[in-house]
A and B are shown apart, each in its own frame.
Chain A
Amino acid sequence: MGTGMRFNGCPSKNELASAPGVPSLEDLNRKPLAVIECIEPIPCNPCEHACPFQAITVGDPITNCPVLDPEKCTGCGTCIACCPGLAIFVIDMNFTAATALVTMPYELYPLPQEGAEIDCLGRGGNTVAKGRIHTVKTSEKFDKTALVSIELSKEFAMDVRNIRMC
Protein backbone atom coordinates (compact mmCIF):
# COMPACT_ATOMS: atom_id res chain seq x y z
CA MET A 1 0.00 0.00 0.00
CA GLY A 2 1.28 3.47 -0.88
CA THR A 3 1.74 6.47 1.38
CA GLY A 4 0.38 9.98 1.14
CA MET A 5 -2.95 11.71 0.95
CA ARG A 6 -4.80 9.08 -1.09
CA PHE A 7 -3.68 6.21 1.11
CA ASN A 8 -3.94 7.47 4.67
CA GLY A 9 -5.50 10.93 4.51
CA CYS A 10 -2.25 12.69 5.44
CA PRO A 11 -0.19 14.54 2.86
CA SER A 12 3.28 13.02 2.89
CA LYS A 13 6.52 15.00 3.32
CA ASN A 14 7.12 14.72 -0.43
CA GLU A 15 3.61 15.84 -1.30
CA LEU A 16 3.98 18.86 0.96
CA ALA A 17 7.44 19.69 -0.35
CA SER A 18 6.14 19.79 -3.91
CA ALA A 19 2.94 21.73 -3.09
CA PRO A 20 3.24 25.27 -4.51
CA GLY A 21 1.29 26.68 -1.57
CA VAL A 22 3.73 25.42 1.04
CA PRO A 23 6.60 27.88 1.55
CA SER A 24 10.15 26.74 2.20
CA LEU A 25 11.47 26.43 5.75
CA GLU A 26 13.89 29.20 4.88
CA ASP A 27 11.03 31.58 4.10
CA LEU A 28 9.09 30.43 7.16
CA ASN A 29 12.06 31.22 9.37
CA ARG A 30 12.08 34.72 7.94
CA LYS A 31 8.45 35.78 8.54
CA PRO A 32 4.93 34.51 9.36
CA LEU A 33 3.41 32.88 6.28
CA ALA A 34 0.38 30.96 5.07
CA VAL A 35 0.96 27.25 4.54
CA ILE A 36 -1.52 25.94 1.97
CA GLU A 37 -1.64 22.14 2.21
CA CYS A 38 -3.65 21.77 -1.01
CA ILE A 39 -2.08 19.07 -3.14
CA GLU A 40 -4.88 17.77 -5.37
CA PRO A 41 -6.21 19.44 -8.53
CA ILE A 42 -9.56 20.40 -6.98
CA PRO A 43 -11.69 22.86 -9.01
CA CYS A 44 -11.66 25.51 -6.30
CA ASN A 45 -10.34 29.05 -5.94
CA PRO A 46 -11.83 31.08 -3.02
CA CYS A 47 -8.34 31.46 -1.47
CA GLU A 48 -7.14 33.39 -4.50
CA HIS A 49 -9.91 35.96 -4.03
CA ALA A 50 -9.68 36.09 -0.24
CA CYS A 51 -6.06 37.27 -0.09
CA PRO A 52 -5.93 41.06 0.33
CA PHE A 53 -2.33 41.11 -0.92
CA GLN A 54 -2.70 38.97 -4.09
CA ALA A 55 -0.24 36.51 -2.60
CA ILE A 56 -2.23 33.45 -3.72
CA THR A 57 -2.67 32.48 -7.35
CA VAL A 58 -4.84 29.68 -8.71
CA GLY A 59 -5.50 31.11 -12.15
CA ASP A 60 -6.73 29.12 -15.11
CA PRO A 61 -7.54 26.23 -15.10
CA ILE A 62 -9.25 26.39 -11.74
CA THR A 63 -7.82 22.96 -10.86
CA ASN A 64 -4.34 24.43 -10.42
CA CYS A 65 -3.06 24.06 -6.87
CA PRO A 66 -2.76 27.46 -5.21
CA VAL A 67 0.66 29.07 -5.48
CA LEU A 68 1.85 31.18 -2.55
CA ASP A 69 4.11 34.16 -3.10
CA PRO A 70 6.08 34.40 0.16
CA GLU A 71 7.12 37.96 -0.61
CA LYS A 72 3.53 39.22 -0.83
CA CYS A 73 2.12 37.05 1.99
CA THR A 74 1.97 38.85 5.35
CA GLY A 75 0.67 35.89 7.34
CA CYS A 76 -2.54 37.83 8.06
CA GLY A 77 -4.67 34.64 8.01
CA THR A 78 -7.55 36.04 5.96
CA CYS A 79 -7.34 33.01 3.65
CA ILE A 80 -7.70 30.41 6.43
CA ALA A 81 -11.46 30.52 6.92
CA CYS A 82 -12.26 30.77 3.22
CA CYS A 83 -10.74 27.38 2.34
CA PRO A 84 -13.55 24.80 2.05
CA GLY A 85 -10.95 22.07 2.51
CA LEU A 86 -9.71 23.55 5.81
CA ALA A 87 -6.23 23.14 4.35
CA ILE A 88 -4.69 26.55 5.09
CA PHE A 89 -2.64 27.32 8.19
CA VAL A 90 -0.49 30.28 9.17
CA ILE A 91 2.82 29.65 10.86
CA ASP A 92 4.80 32.22 12.77
CA MET A 93 8.00 30.28 13.34
CA ASN A 94 9.63 32.94 15.51
CA PHE A 95 6.76 33.85 17.79
CA THR A 96 9.21 33.81 20.71
CA ALA A 97 12.76 32.53 20.90
CA ALA A 98 11.49 29.05 21.82
CA THR A 99 7.95 28.93 20.46
CA ALA A 100 6.04 29.13 17.22
CA LEU A 101 2.44 30.19 16.67
CA VAL A 102 0.30 27.91 14.48
CA THR A 103 -3.07 29.29 13.39
CA MET A 104 -5.63 26.79 12.12
CA PRO A 105 -9.29 26.66 11.08
CA TYR A 106 -11.52 25.18 13.78
CA GLU A 107 -15.18 24.20 13.42
CA LEU A 108 -16.04 22.30 16.60
CA TYR A 109 -17.97 23.62 19.56
CA PRO A 110 -17.26 24.53 22.25
CA LEU A 111 -14.45 26.72 21.01
CA PRO A 112 -11.30 26.45 23.13
CA GLN A 113 -10.60 29.04 25.82
CA GLU A 114 -7.71 31.40 25.30
CA GLY A 115 -4.86 30.43 27.59
CA ALA A 116 -5.99 26.79 27.87
CA GLU A 117 -3.41 24.01 27.79
CA ILE A 118 -4.20 21.59 24.98
CA ASP A 119 -2.85 18.54 23.21
CA CYS A 120 -1.38 19.37 19.83
CA LEU A 121 -2.22 16.74 17.22
CA GLY A 122 -0.36 15.81 14.07
CA ARG A 123 -1.87 15.21 10.64
CA GLY A 124 -2.63 11.65 11.68
CA GLY A 125 -4.50 12.69 14.82
CA ASN A 126 -1.64 11.56 17.07
CA THR A 127 -0.64 13.68 20.08
CA VAL A 128 2.63 15.37 19.19
CA ALA A 129 3.15 17.96 21.93
CA LYS A 130 1.50 20.14 24.54
CA GLY A 131 0.56 23.66 23.59
CA ARG A 132 -1.42 26.67 24.75
CA ILE A 133 -4.31 28.45 23.07
CA HIS A 134 -3.06 31.93 22.31
CA THR A 135 -6.07 33.43 20.57
CA VAL A 136 -9.45 32.39 19.21
CA LYS A 137 -10.82 34.65 16.52
CA THR A 138 -14.32 34.60 15.12
CA SER A 139 -15.95 37.00 12.72
CA GLU A 140 -18.97 37.18 10.49
CA LYS A 141 -16.62 37.09 7.52
CA PHE A 142 -15.18 33.75 8.66
CA ASP A 143 -18.73 32.32 8.55
CA LYS A 144 -18.54 30.09 11.65
CA THR A 145 -15.00 28.88 11.04
CA ALA A 146 -12.92 30.03 14.01
CA LEU A 147 -9.23 30.83 13.73
CA VAL A 148 -7.42 29.20 16.62
CA SER A 149 -3.80 30.16 17.26
CA ILE A 150 -1.73 27.85 19.41
CA GLU A 151 1.67 28.50 20.87
CA LEU A 152 3.96 25.50 20.94
CA SER A 153 7.59 24.53 20.88
CA LYS A 154 8.83 25.54 17.41
CA GLU A 155 10.23 22.12 16.53
CA PHE A 156 6.63 20.86 16.19
CA ALA A 157 5.25 23.77 14.15
CA MET A 158 5.37 21.91 10.83
CA ASP A 159 3.70 18.79 12.26
CA VAL A 160 0.83 20.08 14.39
CA ARG A 161 -2.44 20.60 12.54
CA ASN A 162 -5.17 20.04 15.13
CA ILE A 163 -5.86 20.32 18.84
CA ARG A 164 -7.64 18.35 21.49
CA MET A 165 -8.81 19.81 24.78
CA CYS A 166 -7.07 18.24 27.75
Chain B
Amino acid sequence: MKNIDVAVVGAGPAGLSAAIEAAKYGVKTLVIDENRQPGGQLFKQIHKFFGSQAQMAGIRGYEIGKKLLASAQMHHVQMHLNTQVIGIDETNTLAVIKDHHYSEIKARKIILCCGAAEKTLAFPGWTLPGIMGAGAAQTLVNIHRVLPGEKILMVGSGNVGLIVTYHFLQAGANVKAVIDAAHSIKGYGVHAAKIKRAGIPIMLGCTINRAIGKKQVEKAELIRVDERFNKIPSTEIQMDVDTICLAVGLSPSTELARMAGCKLYYDAKLGGYIPLINQDMQTTLEDIYAAGDMTGIEEASIAMEEGRIAGISCAVGLGYCPDTATSQRVVQNIRLNLSQLRSYKPN
Protein backbone atom coordinates (compact mmCIF):
# COMPACT_ATOMS: atom_id res chain seq x y z
CA MET B 1 0.00 0.00 0.00
CA LYS B 2 1.25 3.42 -0.97
CA ASN B 3 0.77 6.33 1.45
CA ILE B 4 0.38 9.91 0.30
CA ASP B 5 -0.79 13.23 1.78
CA VAL B 6 -3.22 14.15 -0.99
CA ALA B 7 -4.52 11.92 -3.77
CA VAL B 8 -6.24 13.69 -6.65
CA VAL B 9 -8.44 11.56 -8.89
CA GLY B 10 -8.45 13.00 -12.40
CA ALA B 11 -5.73 14.94 -14.23
CA GLY B 12 -8.00 17.44 -16.00
CA PRO B 13 -7.94 21.19 -15.40
CA ALA B 14 -9.49 20.87 -11.92
CA GLY B 15 -7.28 17.98 -10.77
CA LEU B 16 -4.04 19.47 -12.05
CA SER B 17 -4.85 22.87 -10.53
CA ALA B 18 -5.72 21.24 -7.20
CA ALA B 19 -2.51 19.20 -7.17
CA ILE B 20 -0.34 22.19 -8.11
CA GLU B 21 -1.75 24.37 -5.30
CA ALA B 22 -1.39 21.63 -2.68
CA ALA B 23 2.13 20.81 -3.82
CA LYS B 24 3.10 24.49 -3.65
CA TYR B 25 2.69 24.22 0.12
CA GLY B 26 4.93 21.18 0.26
CA VAL B 27 2.12 18.64 0.43
CA LYS B 28 3.06 15.26 -1.05
CA THR B 29 0.54 15.05 -3.86
CA LEU B 30 -0.33 12.29 -6.29
CA VAL B 31 -2.60 12.62 -9.32
CA ILE B 32 -4.22 9.48 -10.69
CA ASP B 33 -5.79 9.32 -14.14
CA GLU B 34 -7.05 6.47 -16.28
CA ASN B 35 -5.87 8.07 -19.51
CA ARG B 36 -2.48 7.72 -21.14
CA GLN B 37 -1.94 11.47 -21.04
CA PRO B 38 -2.81 14.00 -18.37
CA GLY B 39 -4.80 17.14 -19.19
CA GLY B 40 -8.34 15.82 -19.39
CA GLN B 41 -10.17 17.52 -22.24
CA LEU B 42 -7.76 20.47 -22.44
CA PHE B 43 -5.54 19.04 -25.17
CA LYS B 44 -8.37 18.82 -27.67
CA GLN B 45 -9.46 22.41 -27.08
CA ILE B 46 -7.69 24.12 -29.96
CA HIS B 47 -9.59 27.42 -29.58
CA LYS B 48 -8.67 30.42 -27.47
CA PHE B 49 -10.44 30.50 -24.11
CA PHE B 50 -12.61 33.28 -22.75
CA GLY B 51 -11.87 34.66 -19.33
CA SER B 52 -9.79 37.16 -17.49
CA GLN B 53 -6.36 38.13 -18.74
CA ALA B 54 -5.16 37.36 -15.22
CA GLN B 55 -6.17 33.68 -15.62
CA MET B 56 -4.84 32.62 -18.99
CA ALA B 57 -7.70 33.95 -21.12
CA GLY B 58 -7.06 34.32 -24.82
CA ILE B 59 -4.81 31.25 -24.70
CA ARG B 60 -5.70 28.07 -26.58
CA GLY B 61 -6.85 25.20 -24.37
CA TYR B 62 -3.96 22.88 -25.21
CA GLU B 63 -1.49 25.63 -24.31
CA ILE B 64 -3.19 25.94 -20.91
CA GLY B 65 -2.78 22.17 -20.56
CA LYS B 66 0.95 22.46 -21.29
CA LYS B 67 1.32 25.23 -18.70
CA LEU B 68 -0.47 23.17 -16.05
CA LEU B 69 1.70 20.13 -16.74
CA ALA B 70 4.89 22.19 -16.56
CA SER B 71 3.75 23.68 -13.27
CA ALA B 72 2.82 20.26 -11.85
CA GLN B 73 6.25 18.97 -12.75
CA MET B 74 7.98 22.00 -11.25
CA HIS B 75 6.16 21.46 -7.95
CA HIS B 76 6.96 17.73 -7.89
CA VAL B 77 3.41 16.48 -8.27
CA GLN B 78 3.49 12.71 -8.72
CA MET B 79 1.45 11.31 -11.58
CA HIS B 80 0.02 7.82 -12.02
CA LEU B 81 -1.38 7.50 -15.54
CA ASN B 82 -3.13 4.55 -17.19
CA THR B 83 -4.44 3.99 -13.69
CA GLN B 84 -8.10 3.46 -12.90
CA VAL B 85 -9.55 4.18 -9.49
CA ILE B 86 -12.17 1.46 -9.04
CA GLY B 87 -12.98 1.93 -5.38
CA ILE B 88 -12.79 4.14 -2.33
CA ASP B 89 -13.49 3.27 1.29
CA GLU B 90 -14.06 4.95 4.65
CA THR B 91 -10.35 4.80 5.53
CA ASN B 92 -9.54 7.07 2.55
CA THR B 93 -8.02 4.17 0.67
CA LEU B 94 -8.29 4.13 -3.10
CA ALA B 95 -8.41 0.83 -4.95
CA VAL B 96 -6.55 1.20 -8.22
CA ILE B 97 -5.77 -0.91 -11.26
CA LYS B 98 -2.80 -0.39 -13.53
CA ASP B 99 -1.77 -2.86 -16.22
CA HIS B 100 -4.23 -5.44 -14.82
CA HIS B 101 -2.46 -5.13 -11.48
CA TYR B 102 -4.39 -4.21 -8.33
CA SER B 103 -3.01 -1.99 -5.58
CA GLU B 104 -4.15 0.40 -2.88
CA ILE B 105 -3.29 4.00 -2.13
CA LYS B 106 -4.01 5.47 1.28
CA ALA B 107 -4.33 9.24 1.37
CA ARG B 108 -4.85 11.69 4.20
CA LYS B 109 -7.04 13.81 1.91
CA ILE B 110 -8.67 12.93 -1.40
CA ILE B 111 -9.73 15.42 -4.07
CA LEU B 112 -12.18 13.97 -6.58
CA CYS B 113 -11.94 15.68 -9.97
CA CYS B 114 -13.58 12.99 -12.07
CA GLY B 115 -15.06 15.29 -14.69
CA ALA B 116 -18.16 14.42 -16.65
CA ALA B 117 -19.49 12.07 -19.29
CA GLU B 118 -21.42 12.97 -22.42
CA LYS B 119 -25.16 12.56 -22.33
CA THR B 120 -26.80 10.89 -25.25
CA LEU B 121 -30.11 10.97 -27.04
CA ALA B 122 -32.09 7.92 -28.02
CA PHE B 123 -33.97 7.89 -31.33
CA PRO B 124 -34.71 5.20 -33.91
CA GLY B 125 -31.44 4.25 -35.56
CA TRP B 126 -29.23 5.84 -32.89
CA THR B 127 -26.98 2.78 -32.64
CA LEU B 128 -25.89 3.02 -36.29
CA PRO B 129 -22.15 3.54 -36.79
CA GLY B 130 -21.41 7.19 -37.46
CA ILE B 131 -23.49 8.44 -34.54
CA MET B 132 -21.35 9.57 -31.63
CA GLY B 133 -20.88 12.10 -28.88
CA ALA B 134 -19.54 15.47 -29.99
CA GLY B 135 -16.74 15.17 -27.45
CA ALA B 136 -15.74 11.80 -28.88
CA ALA B 137 -15.70 13.30 -32.36
CA GLN B 138 -13.58 16.17 -31.07
CA THR B 139 -11.07 13.64 -29.69
CA LEU B 140 -10.94 11.92 -33.09
CA VAL B 141 -10.34 15.19 -34.93
CA ASN B 142 -8.04 17.08 -32.60
CA ILE B 143 -6.11 14.30 -30.83
CA HIS B 144 -6.03 11.51 -33.42
CA ARG B 145 -6.34 13.84 -36.46
CA VAL B 146 -9.04 11.70 -38.04
CA LEU B 147 -12.32 13.08 -39.38
CA PRO B 148 -15.27 10.93 -38.30
CA GLY B 149 -16.97 11.66 -41.62
CA GLU B 150 -17.45 14.11 -44.44
CA LYS B 151 -21.06 15.21 -44.01
CA ILE B 152 -21.83 15.95 -40.41
CA LEU B 153 -24.98 16.86 -38.52
CA MET B 154 -24.47 18.46 -35.11
CA VAL B 155 -27.29 18.00 -32.61
CA GLY B 156 -27.15 20.68 -29.92
CA SER B 157 -26.37 24.40 -30.04
CA GLY B 158 -24.67 24.67 -26.66
CA ASN B 159 -21.04 25.67 -26.46
CA VAL B 160 -19.81 22.11 -27.06
CA GLY B 161 -21.90 21.77 -30.22
CA LEU B 162 -20.88 25.18 -31.55
CA ILE B 163 -17.19 24.83 -30.73
CA VAL B 164 -16.84 21.30 -32.08
CA THR B 165 -18.62 22.44 -35.25
CA TYR B 166 -15.99 25.16 -35.66
CA HIS B 167 -13.23 22.59 -35.11
CA PHE B 168 -14.81 20.41 -37.84
CA LEU B 169 -14.72 23.40 -40.18
CA GLN B 170 -11.06 23.92 -39.39
CA ALA B 171 -10.44 20.22 -40.08
CA GLY B 172 -12.08 20.53 -43.49
CA ALA B 173 -15.34 18.68 -42.87
CA ASN B 174 -18.70 19.73 -44.25
CA VAL B 175 -21.08 20.40 -41.39
CA LYS B 176 -24.56 20.29 -42.91
CA ALA B 177 -26.34 21.94 -39.99
CA VAL B 178 -26.46 22.51 -36.27
CA ILE B 179 -29.90 21.72 -34.89
CA ASP B 180 -31.49 22.30 -31.49
CA ALA B 181 -34.94 21.53 -30.16
CA ALA B 182 -34.75 24.79 -28.21
CA HIS B 183 -36.01 27.93 -29.89
CA SER B 184 -32.91 29.96 -29.15
CA ILE B 185 -29.18 29.23 -29.35
CA LYS B 186 -27.91 27.72 -26.10
CA GLY B 187 -24.23 28.64 -26.29
CA TYR B 188 -22.38 31.92 -26.60
CA GLY B 189 -23.50 34.09 -29.51
CA VAL B 190 -19.94 34.66 -30.73
CA HIS B 191 -19.40 30.90 -31.08
CA ALA B 192 -22.61 30.72 -33.12
CA ALA B 193 -21.57 33.75 -35.19
CA LYS B 194 -18.28 32.08 -36.23
CA ILE B 195 -20.04 29.10 -37.81
CA LYS B 196 -22.99 31.09 -39.08
CA ARG B 197 -20.81 33.40 -41.15
CA ALA B 198 -19.14 30.31 -42.59
CA GLY B 199 -22.56 29.41 -43.98
CA ILE B 200 -23.55 26.60 -41.60
CA PRO B 201 -27.31 26.65 -40.98
CA ILE B 202 -28.42 26.77 -37.35
CA MET B 203 -31.89 25.22 -37.23
CA LEU B 204 -33.80 25.87 -34.02
CA GLY B 205 -37.04 24.27 -32.92
CA CYS B 206 -35.84 21.18 -34.74
CA THR B 207 -34.90 17.73 -33.49
CA ILE B 208 -33.77 14.43 -34.89
CA ASN B 209 -36.63 12.05 -35.62
CA ARG B 210 -34.61 9.04 -36.74
CA ALA B 211 -31.37 7.99 -38.36
CA ILE B 212 -31.57 6.00 -41.58
CA GLY B 213 -28.91 3.68 -42.97
CA LYS B 214 -27.90 0.08 -43.55
CA LYS B 215 -24.33 -0.44 -42.41
CA GLN B 216 -23.90 3.10 -41.14
CA VAL B 217 -25.88 6.30 -40.94
CA GLU B 218 -26.75 7.60 -44.41
CA LYS B 219 -29.54 10.06 -43.67
CA ALA B 220 -30.85 12.00 -40.72
CA GLU B 221 -34.56 12.67 -40.56
CA LEU B 222 -35.28 15.96 -38.84
CA ILE B 223 -38.60 17.19 -37.54
CA ARG B 224 -39.80 20.54 -36.22
CA VAL B 225 -40.95 20.85 -32.62
CA ASP B 226 -43.23 23.42 -31.02
CA GLU B 227 -42.46 25.58 -27.98
CA ARG B 228 -43.27 22.61 -25.72
CA PHE B 229 -40.98 20.30 -27.72
CA ASN B 230 -43.87 18.34 -29.23
CA LYS B 231 -43.07 17.08 -32.71
CA ILE B 232 -45.07 18.84 -35.40
CA PRO B 233 -46.47 16.20 -37.79
CA SER B 234 -45.58 16.35 -41.48
CA THR B 235 -42.57 18.63 -40.96
CA GLU B 236 -39.99 15.87 -41.50
CA ILE B 237 -37.07 16.52 -43.81
CA GLN B 238 -34.21 14.21 -44.68
CA MET B 239 -30.57 15.20 -44.86
CA ASP B 240 -27.68 13.20 -46.37
CA VAL B 241 -25.12 12.70 -43.62
CA ASP B 242 -22.50 10.14 -42.69
CA THR B 243 -21.98 11.38 -39.15
CA ILE B 244 -24.34 12.59 -36.44
CA CYS B 245 -22.73 14.22 -33.42
CA LEU B 246 -24.69 14.53 -30.20
CA ALA B 247 -23.88 17.58 -28.11
CA VAL B 248 -26.79 17.28 -25.72
CA GLY B 249 -25.10 17.98 -22.44
CA LEU B 250 -22.77 16.43 -19.92
CA SER B 251 -23.41 14.42 -16.81
CA PRO B 252 -21.14 14.81 -13.73
CA SER B 253 -19.15 11.63 -13.00
CA THR B 254 -20.09 11.10 -9.37
CA GLU B 255 -19.53 7.33 -9.01
CA LEU B 256 -16.61 7.60 -6.57
CA ALA B 257 -18.28 10.33 -4.51
CA ARG B 258 -21.36 8.11 -4.25
CA MET B 259 -19.29 5.07 -3.32
CA ALA B 260 -17.42 7.04 -0.65
CA GLY B 261 -20.72 8.07 0.90
CA CYS B 262 -20.62 11.79 0.10
CA LYS B 263 -24.05 13.34 0.19
CA LEU B 264 -25.31 14.14 -3.31
CA TYR B 265 -28.11 16.40 -4.41
CA TYR B 266 -29.88 17.12 -7.67
CA ASP B 267 -29.35 20.35 -9.59
CA ALA B 268 -30.74 20.26 -13.11
CA LYS B 269 -28.86 23.41 -14.17
CA LEU B 270 -25.53 21.95 -13.08
CA GLY B 271 -26.10 18.66 -14.90
CA GLY B 272 -27.83 16.33 -12.43
CA TYR B 273 -26.66 14.68 -9.20
CA ILE B 274 -23.58 16.36 -7.72
CA PRO B 275 -21.83 16.14 -4.37
CA LEU B 276 -22.87 18.68 -1.77
CA ILE B 277 -19.81 20.82 -1.12
CA ASN B 278 -19.00 23.78 1.08
CA GLN B 279 -17.10 26.85 -0.03
CA ASP B 280 -13.78 25.06 0.56
CA MET B 281 -14.86 22.41 -1.97
CA GLN B 282 -15.14 19.92 0.90
CA THR B 283 -17.83 17.26 0.56
CA THR B 284 -19.95 16.09 3.48
CA LEU B 285 -17.03 13.79 4.38
CA GLU B 286 -14.22 15.60 6.17
CA ASP B 287 -11.31 14.26 4.12
CA ILE B 288 -12.93 14.20 0.70
CA TYR B 289 -13.04 17.22 -1.56
CA ALA B 290 -14.43 17.60 -5.06
CA ALA B 291 -13.88 20.10 -7.87
CA GLY B 292 -14.48 20.66 -11.56
CA ASP B 293 -17.28 19.33 -13.74
CA MET B 294 -18.22 16.59 -11.29
CA THR B 295 -19.48 19.32 -8.95
CA GLY B 296 -21.51 20.89 -11.78
CA ILE B 297 -21.00 21.34 -15.51
CA GLU B 298 -19.24 24.66 -16.06
CA GLU B 299 -16.27 26.09 -17.95
CA ALA B 300 -12.67 24.85 -17.68
CA SER B 301 -11.69 28.24 -16.26
CA ILE B 302 -14.11 27.61 -13.38
CA ALA B 303 -12.85 24.04 -12.89
CA MET B 304 -9.30 25.34 -12.49
CA GLU B 305 -10.30 27.89 -9.85
CA GLU B 306 -12.35 25.30 -7.95
CA GLY B 307 -9.40 22.91 -8.06
CA ARG B 308 -7.12 25.57 -6.65
CA ILE B 309 -9.46 26.13 -3.69
CA ALA B 310 -9.63 22.39 -3.01
CA GLY B 311 -5.83 22.10 -3.15
CA ILE B 312 -5.28 24.98 -0.75
CA SER B 313 -8.02 23.73 1.59
CA CYS B 314 -6.31 20.35 1.82
CA ALA B 315 -2.93 21.95 2.48
CA VAL B 316 -4.49 24.04 5.25
CA GLY B 317 -6.35 21.02 6.66
CA LEU B 318 -3.13 19.02 6.83
CA GLY B 319 -1.31 21.79 8.66
CA TYR B 320 0.98 22.82 5.79
CA CYS B 321 -0.04 26.50 5.92
CA PRO B 322 1.14 28.08 9.14
CA ASP B 323 0.33 31.50 7.67
CA THR B 324 -3.42 31.00 7.33
CA ALA B 325 -4.06 34.71 6.78
CA THR B 326 -2.17 34.59 3.49
CA SER B 327 -3.82 31.40 2.28
CA GLN B 328 -7.21 32.83 3.24
CA ARG B 329 -6.49 35.90 1.15
CA VAL B 330 -5.55 33.75 -1.84
CA VAL B 331 -8.77 31.76 -1.46
CA GLN B 332 -10.82 34.94 -1.15
CA ASN B 333 -9.36 36.18 -4.44
CA ILE B 334 -10.16 32.89 -6.16
CA ARG B 335 -13.74 33.09 -4.89
CA LEU B 336 -14.02 36.57 -6.32
CA ASN B 337 -12.73 35.30 -9.69
CA LEU B 338 -15.25 32.49 -9.54
CA SER B 339 -18.19 34.77 -8.90
CA GLN B 340 -17.14 36.90 -11.88
CA LEU B 341 -16.68 33.89 -14.14
CA ARG B 342 -20.13 32.67 -13.10
CA SER B 343 -21.90 35.97 -13.58
CA TYR B 344 -23.01 35.12 -17.10
CA LYS B 345 -24.98 32.03 -17.97
CA PRO B 346 -26.25 31.72 -21.52
CA ASN B 347 -29.99 30.98 -21.43
CB distance from A34 to the nearest CB of B (A): 15
* Interfacial chain B residues near A8, Cβ < 8 Å: 196, 202
* Interfacial chain B residues near A50, Cβ < 8 Å: 58
CB distance from B74 to the nearest CB of A (A): 23
Beta-carbon contact of A43 and B48 below 8 Å: no
* Interfacial chain A residues near B52, Cβ < 8 Å: 43-45, 62
Beta-carbon contact of B193 and A5 below 8 Å: yes
Most buried by B among A44, A63, A86, A125: A44
B183 at the interface (CB under 8 A from A): yes
* Interfacial chain B residues near A108, Cβ < 8 Å: 169-170
A98 at the interface (CB under 8 A from B): no
CB-based A-B contact count at 8 angstroms: 128
Q: How far is the CA of A62 from the CA of B54 in the complex (A)?
A: 11
Beta-carbon contact of A46 and B189 below 8 Å: no
A10 at the interface (CB under 8 A from B): yes
- Assign chain A's interface to a size class: 35 or more
Q: How far is the CA of A43 from the CA of B54 in the complex (A)?
A: 12
Beta-carbon contact of B47 and A6 below 8 Å: no
Q: In chain A, what residue has the closest Cβ to B185?
A: A6
Beta-carbon contact of A125 and B196 below 8 Å: yes
Decide: A44 near B343, CB < 8 A? Known: A5-B192, A9-B193. Answer: no
Beta-carbon contact of A123 and B188 below 8 Å: no
Beta-carbon contact of B193 and A123 below 8 Å: yes
Q: Mark A114-138, 1 if CB is under 8 A from B, else 0.
A: 0000000111111000000000000
Beta-carbon contact of A40 and B192 below 8 Å: no
Beta-carbon contact of B197 and A123 below 8 Å: yes
A162 at the interface (CB under 8 A from B): yes
Decide: A63 near B340, CB < 8 A? Known: A6-B184, A85-B190, A143-B60. Answer: yes
Beta-carbon contact of A63 and B58 below 8 Å: no
Taking A40-B346, A43-B50, A85-B193 as known contacts, 7 extra A-B pairs with beta carbons closer than 8 A to each other, sorted by chain A number, are A37-B193, A63-B340, A84-B48, A108-B169, A124-B196, A161-B197, A164-B199
A-B contact pairs, 23 of them (CB 8 A): A6-B184, A6-B347, A7-B183, A8-B202, A9-B195, A40-B190, A40-B344, A41-B344, A42-B50, A43-B51, A44-B52, A45-B53, A46-B53, A46-B58, A50-B58, A62-B340, A83-B58, A85-B193, A86-B194, A125-B198, A125-B199, A125-B200, A145-B48
A interface residues with partner B (beta carbon < 8 Å) = 1-2, 5-11, 37-46, 48-50, 61-63, 82-87, 107-109, 121-126, 143-145, 161-162, 164
